[in-house]
Chains A and B, each alone.
Chain A
Amino acid sequence: MIWRVLESVHGHLGVLAVAALLHPAILLRRGLPLSRGARWSVALTTLVTLLAFGLGVGIYEQYRATVKRGVFLESRAVGFLFETKEHLGFTVAALALAAGVAAWLAPPAAVSVRRACAATYAAAALLCAVVVALGTLVASTHGF
C-alpha cells in the first residue's frame, strides 16, 4: 500500500515538475534580472524536480523486486520504455539543477547567461514531459 502511495506521489511530483520547469523557461527568456518571486520560482522548481527524481530512485529497488517483471510480462516494449524513462530522468535532474544554480548565481548584467538558463529549463521541461508520459504508460500497464 505504502509503495503504491509513493508511486503516485512520484508521478504527481513529475507532472508538477513539468509545469514548474516551464515557468522559469518563460520567465528567464528575456534575460532580465531575477525578482524576489522569480528566485523563489527557480529554487522551488529545482527542489520539486529533484524531489520527483529522488523519490523515483528511492522506490526503485522495491519496484524492481515486485513490479518490473510484471511490466515485461505484460509488454516487452513498455518494459524497455521504463529504462528510457530512467535515463531521461537523470538528464532532467541534471539540467534542472544546473539551470537553477546558474540562474540563482548570475549577476544582474548577465543577460545571455539567463537566456541560456531559459533554454536549459525548456530542454528539461521537454524531457520531463516525455518522462511523465512514459511513466504514465508504464504505470497504466502494471503497477504496485
Chain B
Amino acid sequence: MTQPPTRPEDARRTALSLAALTFGVTSSLAYAAQRVFERLRGGAGDPLLVVFDLHTAFYWRAATAAWWGGVAAILVFALASRPRGGALHDRVARVLGLVVVPLALVIAVTMWRLP
C-alpha cells in the first residue's frame, strides 16, 4: 500500500506517476474507441481501400488518442496534487492496476474483430 506522502516533492512525484499511468490507459482506450467509431461509420474493411490508404489516418488517430490521454493525465494530476489528494493516490493506483490487463485483452479482441 502506498504511504501518504510526507514531503511535497514526493506528493508531486506520486501525482505525476499516476498521471503518466492514466495517460497510457486513456490513450489506448481512445485509440481503440476511434477505430471502432471509424468501422461503425465506414462499414467492413475493403482491402483495396486499406492498400491505398495513406498513413495519415493512423497519425491523426494516434495524435488524437495522445491528446485525450494528455487531458485525462492533466485531470488526474490536478486532483492528486491537491492538499488532500494523498488519499486518492492509493485508490487510483489500485484501480489502474486492476483495469489495465483486462482492458488490454478487450482492446486486443476488439482490434482483431474490427481491424
Known: A102-B20, A119-B97, A127-B108. 7 other contacts (CB 8 A): A94-B69, A102-B17, A113-B2, A116-B93, A120-B100, A122-B100, A126-B104
In the complex, which range does the number of interface residues on chain B fall in? 35 or more
Contacts of A117 in B (CB 8 A): 17, 21
Contact A91 B98 (CB under 8 A): no
Q: For residues 44 through 79 of chain B, which have their beta carbon under 8 Å from a beta carbon of chain A?
A: 45, 47, 50-51, 54-55, 58, 61-62, 65-66, 69
6 A-B pairs with the lowest CB-CB distances in the bound complex, closest first: A98-B24, A116-B97, A112-B93, A123-B104, A83-B115, A101-B20
Contacts of B62 in A (CB 8 A): 90
Contacts of A105 in B (CB 8 A): 13, 16-17, 20
A86-B104 CB under 8 A given contacts A80-B115, A95-B28: no
Contact A111 B111 (CB under 8 A): no
Contact A94 B94 (CB under 8 A): no
Q: Which among A86, A95, A111 is the interface contact of B58 at CB below 8 angstroms? A: A86
Q: Does A130 contact B (CB under 8 A)?
A: yes
- Expressed in whole angstroms, the Cα–Cα distance for A113 and B9 within the complex equals 16
Contacts of B87 in A (CB 8 A): none
A120-B31 CB under 8 A given contacts A110-B14, A110-B17: no
Which of A90, A97, A118 has the most C-beta atoms of chain B within 10 angstroms of its own C-beta? A90
Q: Does A51 contact B (CB under 8 A)?
A: no
Contacts of B23 in A (CB 8 A): 94, 97-98
